[in-house]
Every structure is written in C-alpha cells, then in structure tokens.
Structure 1
Amino acid sequence: MPALWCRRALTRAVHRGWRWAQRAGSVTAEHPGRLRFRRLGHGTRLAFPQGTVFGEPWIEVGDHCIIGERVTLTAGMMPGLDLGAEPILTLGDGVVLGRGSHVIADTRVSIGSDTYCGPYVYITSTNHSYDDPRQPVGKQWPRTEPVEIGPGCWLGTGAVVLPGARLGRNVVVAAGAVVRGEVPDHCVVAGAPARVVRSWDPVDGWRPPLRTPAPVPLPDGITPEQLLALAELEKSQESDGPEAPGSGG
C-alpha cells in the first residue's frame, strides 16, 4: 500500500512539474526567452518544447498565432547567416502550426492569415538536386524557390508543400498530399502529387457537390452566452431522458 501511494504521489508530481515546464518554457512576445524574432505578435505563443528555431531576425509571426510543440521554424540554410534587410519567413495573423510541423525558409516563404496546419506538416522552399550522377545527392547544391500559401487555408496532417508552390485563398490540402505548382482559390487538393478533386464556382457552387449538409446559419443577434446556455439546456434534456408514460403525478 505505501508503495502504491508513493507511485501515485510521484505521478502527480511529475505531471504538475511538466505542466509548469510547459507554461514557463512557452515563448511569447512578453517572454521571448533566448529567441529574438523580427516580430512576434500579440497573443502568439510557441508551445514548449520548441523544435529547431534559427534565423529569428528574419522571421515575422503575426498576432494570435498558435505554434505547437516541436515545431521547426528556420530562415536561411544555417544559423548565423546575414539574409539581408527583408523578412524571409512570414506568418500572418491567426496562423496555427500543429505539433511537429516544419517550415523551412531558405528563401521567401509566406503563410497567409488564418491558415491552419495539422500535425507534422512540412513546408519548404528548398529541394535537393541530383543533376550530377557522380556526386552524392546530399552534397549537391540545393534548389530554392519561394513558397506562398494564401489566407484561410487548411493543411491536413502530414501534408508536404514543395518549393515553388503557390496556394490560393481558402485551399484545403488533404492529409498526406504533396503539393507543387499553383493551386487556385477555393479548391480541395489530394494525392501525391496533389491534384484538384473539388472546386468552388460562384454560380454552380462546389463541384462535385459536398456530401455533408450545409451548415445552418446562426440567427442574427444571438450571443455566445446564449449559444452556451442553449447547449447546456439540450445536454440536460438528453441526460434526463423522456418521461415514461404514466409516471407523472
């Protein structure tokens, strides 16, 4: 019994210590730690533990961004380079990068506002070249091309965005897709290499049509508090269940 109590106490202590480390180790504009970004917006947080981060003087991160655990953000091929006067990596307001994602910006990479990335998304402006068959691929000078991801996009888990890719506004990238080249606004891409599997037309709507029902718009003037109260009411009614016939007084 004492051993079981000690184990439980140790487990609680470890969990409390880890929660403290997560709070203390997170990076914000008010508490940047060792990192000195060109800009780190209000309300933005880099979760602890961070991944590899270097070239911060050439990285701009907008307001209210969420950078998950072990996310890599790099500007330049290696630390200590002078990359000039302009930013190399730019994240707009409200960008979300899921756990374990990588954004590698050896040349210009921009991610538009309110773009959400699931876990382990890989975005890079650099690719290895293999022109010389006599040399190891890793020893050949890589190719770089700018990457631009428009606002309001959604990148699923494990998606890869290759050098030279340009994604329009509100693009959905399916999990595991490998994106290169240009992707128009308001479409869904999937596969490796990624291709358009659904697109939106101002006249015809989504083609092919969506299989899910259209969302019901909220009534004008409703407040978040009213929505929460309605949800609580529905939950209480479900838990009470229907009253059995004849059970009333």
Structure 2
Amino acid sequence: MVKSCGDNIRIGSNVRILGWEHLDVEYNISIHDNCYIDATGGLTLENNVSIAHSSSILTTNHGWSDTTLPIKYNPIKKSPVHIKSDVWVGCGCRILNGVTIYSRAVVAAGAVVNKDVEENSVYGGVPAKKIKDI
C-alpha cells in the first residue's frame, strides 16, 4: 500500500493514515497510539524516527483564494513533509505541511511545527521555536 517501507516498523493502535500511496518509510520507525497521519501531499520518514502518541502530521492545507466559495470548498494545497533520520516527535505535536525536520532533532511535546527544524536541536512551543542545540 505504501510508496516504500523498510524493516522494523511499529504502528500503534488507533492510528489513522491517509494517502498510504504517498508514504515513504525507511527502517526503525515507531508511530505511537492515536496519531493522525495525512500523507496525501507526500510524507517521508527516514531511519530511527519516533512519533509519540496523539501527534498529527499534515501534508495538505485549505486554500482560500476563491472568495466565491467557502474556505472548506476551496482547492486543497498539498506540500510534503520530510522527517530525516534520528528524530523524536514528542506527544501531542502538530507537524504542518511543507516542513522538513532535519536529523537528530527533538520536537517537544505539544509543539506546532510550521517551519523547518534545524538538525541537532530541540524545538518547542506554539509555533515551535528553537530552544537549544543538542
């Protein structure tokens, strides 16, 4: 069903995945319980990624350019998410479309990531900002 899939993949209970055919997962991936993953716009999870419970990854967003239509009926915008190797996404995070999270990064619990996350760093908050280097 997926674009590509490596070994040692764990998907917890009550995980909802949309756009399986656009999902590219490498190896040693864990997606914990109650996550919502929308891969419709393209999602890559590299090696050794852990996504804690109740997190969301969104690769689509509503447009609003056609003012003759309600926003919910405007065309959907697709933009991929790329999570590089050795990333930990804490519980309850929201990763928005068009974001790259670079290697060896931590996204603190509850963060909303709307911009790229630098490698070797910790990001947290709403919206997520760099907290420190690791």
User: By the TM > 0.5 criterion, same fold?
Assistant: yes
Letter in 1 for 2:11: I
2:38 pairs with one of 104, 128, 131: 104
Which residues of structure 1 form unaligned runs of 5+?
A: 1-55, 77-86, 201-249
Give 1:181 deviation, angstroms: 2.2
Equivalent residue in structure 2 for 1:129, among 50, 58, 63: 63
CA distance in 2, matches of 1:194, 1:59: 29
- Residue 62 in structure 1 maps to residue 6 in structure 2: yes
Greater C-alpha Rg: 1
Instruction: Check 1:115–1:101 CA distance in 2 against 1; reply closer, same or farther (3 A cut).
Output: same
Task: State the AA in 1 paired with 2:34.
Answer: G
SS at match of 1:151: coil
Residue 142 of structure 1 deviates from its aligned partner by: 1.1
CA change 1:102–1:60 in 2 (3 A) is: farther
Partner of 1:178 in structure 2? 112
- Counterpart Cα distance in 2 of 1:104 and 1:60: 16
Aligned 1:1-249 pairs, distance under 5 A: 56=1, 58-75=2-19, 88-200=22-134
Deviations for 1:42-68, whole angstroms, at most 9, x for unmatched residues? xxxxxxxxxxxxxx2x44332111100
What does residue 247 of structure 1 align with? none
- The 1-side partners of 2:62 and 2:32 are apart by 25
Q: Judging by fraction of residues, say which structure has more helix.
A: 1
Tell me, in whole angstroms, the C-alpha distance in 2 between the residues paired with 1:67 and 1:89: 13
Question: Aligned pairs, how many?
Answer: 134
Three-state SS of the structure 1 residue aligned to 2:28 is: coil
Which structure is higher in strand share?
A: 2
Which amino acid letter does the alignment assign opposite residue 176 of structure 1?
A: G
For residue 138 of structure 1, give the secondary structure of its aligned residue in structure 2: helix
CA-CA distance at 1:98 after TM superposition = 0.7
Choose between structure 1 and 2 for higher RCO, CA contacts under 8 A separated by at least 6 residues.
Answer: 2
**C-alpha separation between the residues in 2 aligned to 1:70 and 1:136?**
31
* Percentage of pairs with the same residue: 25
Contact 1:59/1:75 (8 A) holds in 2: no
Letter in 2 for 1:157: C
Per-residue deviation, 1:132: 3.3
